[in-house]
Amino acid sequence: MPYTPHTNEQIREMLDLIGLDKESDLFSSVPKELQISGINLPEGLDEFSTFEKFKAIAAKNVTNKTLFMGGGYYDHIVPSAVDALAGRSEFYTSYTPYQAEASQGTLQVLYEYQSMICELSGLDVSNASMYDGASALAESALMAVRITKRNKILIDGGINPTYIKVVQTYLSFRDIEFEVIDVENFKTNRQSVLDKIDESVAGYLFQNPNFFGTIDDFTDIIEKLHVHKALAVVSAYPISLGMLKDPASMGADIFCADGQCLGNYLNFGGPSFGMIATKEAYIRNLPGRIIGRTLDKDGNEIFVLTMQAREQHIRRHRATSNICSNQNLVAVRSTIFMSLLGKDGLADMANLCFSKASYLKEQLSNIDGVEILNKENTFNEFVISTPLSSDDFLDRLREKGFYAGINLANIDDSFKNQILVSVTEKRTKEQMDAFVSSIGDVL
Amino acid sequence: MSVNMKIKTIFDKSQNGRKGITLPPLDVSVDTKINSSLLREEKARLPEVSEFDVIRHFTNLSNKNMSIDKNFYPLGSCTMKYNPKIVERIANLDGFLNLHPHVVTNNFSEDVQGSLETIDLLEKNLCEITGMSAFTTTPQAGAHGEMLGIMMIDKYHKSKGEKRKYIIVPDSSHGTNPATAAMVGYEVITIKSDENGAIDFETFKKKMNRDVAAVMLTVPNTLGMYNKRIKELCDVAHEYDALMYYDGANMNAIMGVVRPGDIGFDVIHINVHKTFATPHGGGGPGSGPVGVNDKLKEFLPDLGIKKENGKYEFTSGGFNSIGKISPFFGNYGISLRAITYMTVLGSNGMKNASTKAVLNANYLRVRLKDYFDVPYAGMCMHECVLSAKTLAKKGVSAMDIAKYLLDFGLHSPTVYFPLIVKEAIMIEPTETENKETIDYFCDTMINAVKLADENPEEFANYPKTLGVCRPDDTRAIKELDVKFKY
Amino acid sequence: MKKYNEEHEWVEVNGDIATVGISAYAVEQLGDITFLELPEMDAEVSMGDSVAFIESVKAASDIYTPISGDVCEINEALLDTPEVLNEDAQGNFIFKLKVSNADELDSLMSEDAYKNFVDSL
């Protein structure tokens, strides 16, 4: 039997010590009438056949397209060192670091991770990761409700629409009021947001660059939020923080993001991880694990899980969240990735994404029929419209070997014929030129 | 206290201008500018190190971890079993690794038929193992699955025009159960355990009424005990149309033996990083598929799959769906590992796994029962709970025992949980450990008991071999240091 | 004379003012106390209500009022130095109430009865 090392003699010896006749007696505490005879599934496969089976299944997936698709999940480089280190079984097969002395490796990586998230965001404290960007945003909204003891959340329509759906689910079961404020020309509707900020608002959630790629400065909105003692929650694309104004400089109270872009594969959407950071004053309201540095009994520095009384295993129904498992290994990958990248590397990578996207944007604007809909101040994504329906356009480009972007018409009817196009440092001039010429062909 | 040994973080190793990565070239020239007010004034101070610095730093850190591949890791309720290598090899196939989730938005289902097939396989396997009628793989961890389960239960009652107020949990439950109830807006009723460690039946009956939305139970419970009156509990709850939630953290005890769906449970979550051997990764990622019976099918979350004319397509959940809890298919990469593992084991291997898990736990229990307090006597399932109550009177706590074991290459069991057992030591050996390892663990535990008799003061010095010993947790909170300070 | 409830709170009544704190046993079980949430001033509370919250390094616990009344004083100094409870739990109160039903005192445990109760745990 796979992965059970018991010899027949040992099984007999063990049963004898327990005082049982046969293995089935082990389940004597399960009422007989509830027991089943077995599982109605195929018998196990040997390793070789299993591999062949799944290799054939994997081959049914298509992964040979050139990606111009982003929307929160980006086709970035994954350096070899990330796979090599994160694949070490000491990281891979360890458990949550509850026993500090036996987990200094994981604990120190997470401390370094928290430090890096604080550097990206400019904020004071970070937790040790959440499930993903969407749940991090939802938990940030709940944090704002807890901190302000108010019950209304404003959601900017520039936030990734799948995130908005997740946030709405979390909030609706708690009877927390929320309102989505639609964007205007793919940009935050500033006046509308400002008009809605008052003493009833717990927090305003926004994204920068927003889902459509538009970069904005929210300083004035945040100032008004603070006048009314409401919180500013920003979801951001970590790579863009190599270039764009950081959340703390805008005055944001809570920063959250998805970490897939930092050294991780696309994984069909998961596992990725979520990050969340805030001001020190709000640390008791953070969900999830936090790692701290302290001293051991001999005065040696040691890393530990700290502020645990916020968490479910101690505080139970009064915990800040029910989260237990986080996305540790993915956060470890990203810590390694950010170490490789370094201070200049992050800025360089941001610049590559921005510059290449700007090139593509310029080239596309020269094609008859293609219209760029957010012309100014975009990072690595922008919206185009064409005379073709979004479906038709994407299908034709797919046949030519490209995932040309995200079908915005499928997100909202008002985005008819519109496509969200994304570029990363991986796209070469050659690929972009071929893409542009293919678009010229299909139109 | 003065600092004796200081730790070098990756930030301490930083040198201005050093780089650890080569990026693709800038092969285009553009003069597009962004308004300077939108730009960052100072770069984020990520460490400046070489690739080799990074390799050495993190390799050395990895050496400071215990892990299943190196150590026996008998954490109760965590199911630290061997993670087979074939699973990783398959999960790292390019066809699985590099799929963009927005193919869902674009409705390019034909490009991901392989992955949809693996999701279908996993859902069907889980239905068969648990006796439920449908599964979703969108929850990203056990607690996320719990949240989804309680949301569906909430919606079920609302669909009948009812808004119920309470969730019942036993005092032996995982902290996630009451935390989840609160997360979905419920108040918690905690019911004490009886003298056998089971939820007290009479109290349970008294507390049941039509304001109770659901009862959350872990079966076998966190004491490793199977509740003989489980069916009666379900029946009582159903009399009031309260739904039964099965916390599947301890599924590893019952595969092929008994099915939650057959007993009458309405919803269940599975922790695949426990029962189905996906790597724990130092605390995640997990994946927490949720199964329901026919009562709750219509409330399943947004994004599922269906097969029509031999092809898989996406489904977005019906009119009564609770909506999205994850943008796409949750931690797909982890779900994929689970179905791979299940394929290797098959029906026979899964039943065998549960059988050997229970065999190992009971063997260990019998070997240790005369040396420790046994709060609840009798056969256990996949884990057993002992207590160091008597040792504590000599000044040796459960934590002391835990720290002692570390010096012998053994990770400690779960201690101080479940909360209802004083000085609890909760041990789950899992089926993948051989008898020699379990014997070594038992011998070491017995040596600890002997040392407690001879020299109890000595325990304060354990662990002696790991370079650090006994953190000052109070200092960690009072002199908070949660990030590198330049 | 202090009286106790089973959740390890003590209460001492002088005239119509009840002074409430937590027992030395409770503090010993909690370990190093790091954080405290006090009740709202003027809140009307009933015997057994969870009115405050205490957190230590490894545990967290509700504080249940042993007697009904209106909160008339809270010990704000504890917010900055919760650790004084570790030094002297019996001598540092948490809040004071204007008692609404003094008869409730009869249902609480005396010093001796509480000592026996703790020994039985």
Inspect the interface and report whether the beta carbons of B4 and A312 lie closer than 8 Å: no
Number of domains making up chain C: 1
Polymer length in residues for chain A: 443
Q: What DSSP element (H or E) covers C93?
A: none
3-state secondary structure B252-306: HHCCCCECHHHHCCCEEEECHHHHCCCCCCCCCCCCCCEEECCCCHHHCCCCEEE
Domains of chain B: 1-23+43-64 (no CATH), 86-345 (3.40.640.10), 354-473 (3.90.1150.10)
Amino acid of residue A51:
F
Distance (Å, rounded) from C-alpha B146 to C-alpha B143? 5
Q: Decide: A66 and A405 in contact? Cβ < 8 Å.
A: no
Query: pLDDT at position A318, please?
Result: 86
Q: Decide: B385 and B418 in contact? Cβ < 8 Å.
A: yes
Rounded to 5 degrees, φ, ψ at A234 are -115, 135
CATH fold for the domain made of A80-337: Aspartate Aminotransferase; domain 2 (3.40.640)
pLDDT in tens, A243-287: 999 999 999 999 999 999 999 999 999 999 999 999 999 999 999
* CA–CA distances in Å: residue B288 to residues A326, B146, B268, B278, B285: 12, 8, 10, 11, 10
| Residue C94 domain-assigned (yes or no) | yes
| Residue C87 domain-assigned (yes or no) | yes
Query: pLDDT at position B78, please?
Result: 94
Query: C-alpha angle with apex B377: B373 to B378, nearest 5 degrees?
Result: 140
- From C104, C118, C108, C120, select the one nearest C24 (Cα to Cα): C118
- From A349, A246, A121, select the one nearest B19 (Cα to Cα): A349
Q: Where are the domains of chain A?
A: 66-76+344-442, 80-337
State the nearest Cα–Cα gap between C55 and chain A, in angstroms: 6
- Does the pLDDT at position B2 exceed 80? no
| Residue C12 domain-assigned (yes or no) | yes
State the nearest Cα–Cα gap between A396 and chain B, in angstroms: 12
List all residues of chain C from 27 to 86 with a beta carbon under 8 Å from chain A. 34-35, 53, 55-60, 62
- Does the pLDDT at position C119 exceed 90? no
* Buried residues in A391-429 as b, exposed as e (16+ CB within 10 A): eebbbbbbebebbbbbbbbbbeeebebbbbbbbbbbbeb
Inspect the interface and report whether the beta carbons of A309 and C60 lie closer than 8 Å: yes
Q: Decide: B299 and B322 in contact? Cβ < 8 Å.
A: yes
| Sequence-separated contacts (24+) of B449-452 with Cβ below 8 Å | B449/B371, B449/B372, B449/B391, B451/B404, B452/B391, B452/B394, B452/B396
Within a 10 A sphere around the Cβ of B416, how many other Cβ atoms?
A: 18
B chain contacts of residue C32, beta-carbon cutoff 8 Å: 473-474
**For strand B424-427 and strand C44-45, is the pairing parallel, antiparallel, or unpaired?**
unpaired
Which one-letter DSSP state was computed for residue B414? E
Q: Mark the ranges of chain A whose per-residue pLDDT is less than 70.
A: none
Whether B28 contacts chain C with CB within 8 A: no
Q: Which residue has the tokens 């001879």?
A: B454
CATH of the domain at C51: 2.40.50.100
* Token code pair at residue A244: 């764009």
Four-point Cα dihedral A352, A356, A359, A364, nearest 10: -160
* Buried residues in B282-299 as b, exposed as e (16+ CB within 10 A): bbbbbbbbbbbbebbebb
Inspect the interface and report whether the beta carbons of A309 and C59 lie closer than 8 Å: yes
- Residue A267 backbone class (left: φ over 0; alpha: ψ -120 to 50; beta: rest): left
Polymer length in residues for chain C: 121
Residues in a beta bridge with A372: A384
Q: What DSSP element (H or E) covers A73?
A: none
Query: pLDDT at position B1, please?
Result: 64
Of A284, A314, A318, the CB nearest to C58: A314
Domain of C68 in residue numbering reads as 3-101
Q: Which residue in chain C is spatially nearest to B475 when comparing CA positions?
A: C57
Q: Where are the beta strands (DSSP E) in A68-218?
A: 125-126, 152-156, 177-181, 203-208
- Does the pLDDT at position B360 exceed 80? yes
Inspect the interface and report whether the beta carbons of C60 and A284 lie closer than 8 Å: no
Mutate to test the interface with A, among C37, C53, C55, C57 (most CBs of A within 10 A): C55
- What ranges in A200-253 are assigned the alpha helix state H? 219-227, 247-250
Q: What CATH number matches the domain at A66-76+344-442, 3.40.30.10, 3.20.20.140, 3.90.1150.10, 3.90.930.12?
A: 3.90.1150.10
Which of the other chains make 3 or more beta carbon contacts under 8 angstroms with chain C?
Answer: A, B
Inspect the interface and report whether the beta carbons of C55 and A318 lie closer than 8 Å: no
A chain contacts of residue B183, beta-carbon cutoff 8 Å: 174, 321-322
Local structure of B108: helix, strand or coil? coil
| Residue C108 domain-assigned (yes or no) | no
Inspect the interface and report whether the beta carbons of B477 and C34 lie closer than 8 Å: yes
Q: Decide: A339 and B20 in contact? Cβ < 8 Å.
A: yes
- Does the pLDDT at position B414 exceed 90? yes
Mutate to test the interface with A, among B11, B13, B46, B136 (most CBs of A within 10 A): B46
Q: Decide: A291 and B463 in contact? Cβ < 8 Å.
A: no
Whether B474 contacts chain C with CB within 8 A: yes
- Does the pLDDT at position B256 exceed 80? yes
Burial (CB < 10 A; 0-12, 13-18, 19+), residue A71, is: buried
pLDDT in tens, A328-340: 999 999 999 999 9
A427: Cβ–Cβ under 8 A, 6 or more apart, which residues? A66, A68, A356, A360
- Does the pLDDT at position B399 exceed 70? yes
- What ranges in B6-141 are assigned the alpha helix state H? 51-62, 85-91, 94-97, 113-130
pLDDT in tens, A378-388: 999 999 999 99
State the nearest Cα–Cα gap between B478 and chain C, in angstroms: 8
- From B122, B114, B109, select the one nearest B96 (Cα to Cα): B114
Amino acid of residue B288:
G
| Residue C119 domain-assigned (yes or no) | no
A chain contacts of residue B108, beta-carbon cutoff 8 Å: 62, 398, 403
A chain contacts of residue C60, beta-carbon cutoff 8 Å: 309, 314-315, 318
Mutate to test the interface with B, among A14, A61, A74, A391 (most CBs of B within 10 A): A61
C55: Cβ–Cβ under 8 A, 6 or more apart, which residues? A309, A315, C33, C34, C35, C36, C61
Residues in a beta bridge with B373: B387
Distance (Å, rounded) from C-alpha C12 to C-alpha A238? 57
Q: Decide: A331 and A129 in contact? Cβ < 8 Å.
A: yes
ipTM score of complex: 0.97
Q: Which residue in chain B is spatially nearest to A161 when comparing CA positions?
A: B327
Mean pLDDT of chain B: 96
- pLDDT category at C58 given cuts 50, 70, 90 is confident
* CA–CA distances in Å: residue B470 to residues A95, B376, B460, B467, C111: 19, 30, 8, 10, 36
| Residue C110 domain-assigned (yes or no) | no
Amino acid of residue A91:
F
Number of helices followed by number of strands (H, E) in chain C: 4, 9
A chain contacts of residue C37, beta-carbon cutoff 8 Å: none
Q: Decide: A329 and B281 in contact? Cβ < 8 Å.
A: yes
* Token code pair at residue C102: 């003094």
Which of the other chains make 3 or more beta carbon contacts under 8 angstroms with chain A?
Answer: B, C
List all residues of chain A from 309 to 328 with a beta carbon under 8 Å from chain C. 309, 314-315, 318
Residues in a beta bridge with B188: B167
| Residue C85 domain-assigned (yes or no) | yes
Inspect the interface and report whether the beta carbons of A309 and C53 lie closer than 8 Å: no
Distance (Å, rounded) from C-alpha C121 to C-alpha C106? 22
| Residue C116 domain-assigned (yes or no) | no
Inspect the interface and report whether the beta carbons of A29 and B228 lie closer than 8 Å: yes
Q: Which residue has the tokens 């190793």?
A: B13
Quick check: bond before B279 cis, omega within 30?
no
Mean pLDDT throughout B131-152? 98
Local structure of A434: helix, strand or coil? helix
Q: Which residue in chain B is spatially nearest to C33 when comparing CA positions?
A: B474
pLDDT in tens, B326-351: 999 999 999 999 999 999 999 999 99
Inspect the interface and report whether the beta carbons of C35 and A318 lie closer than 8 Å: no
* Token code pair at residue A32: 């007989």
